[in-house]
Structure 1
């Protein structure tokens, strides 16, 4: 059985105290930005006015970019890690979702 590997940078140390440290603050911001992008996505889906939709889309993009920058900062400092998936699982998922195309009324070529 193959074990998945963690992909992570060396962790930048922060004080281990009851007070919030730099990692805690950035993690809190990242969580907030993730929540906001999810909320803006719902608002975009439900916007009935084109001008309002365009304004929301601009704000959504800025919020999404901020979320990505915070993620990159967390990853760079070793405070966020990801698991490397095994190639056979990636291939299996690809085949599964590629098979769904046959269930659609039309496919984009």
Structure 2
């Protein structure tokens, strides 16, 4: 193989890294947008990018080129996450109620 050509593994890995970067860029843009139509369009595009990354990951994982350890969160960790989500939702609900009242 010529030196200047990437292997299939290198191309897939590069593709995953590119999709992660692009998805992160869309995420930042969505968070800084105020127009709901633009937000929805960007979220749709971001989801497509994430789907592409998933396909690349599956191709690499199937070939044994990208391995991940299975996560086994403890019950305490699950409860902590649930508590944090619940607290954040309650805070957000209170913020929205205050905005409606003003």
* TM-score, with length taken from structure 1: 0.67
Q: Where does structure 1 lack aligned partners over 5 or more consecutive residues?
A: 1-14
Q: Give 4+ residue runs of structure 1 displaced > 6 Å after superposition.
A: none
- Is 1:98 the equivalent of 2:82? yes
Aligned Cα root-mean-square deviation (Å): 2.8
How many equivalent pairs are there? 91
Higher helix share: 2
Higher strand share: 1
Q: Where does structure 2 lack aligned partners over 5 or more consecutive residues?
A: 92-102
Partner of 1:21: 7
Render the CA deviation track for 1:60-85: whole Å, top value 9, x for unaligned.
11111111111111111111111134
Work out which of the residue numbers 52, 57, 66 in structure 1 matches 2:43. 57
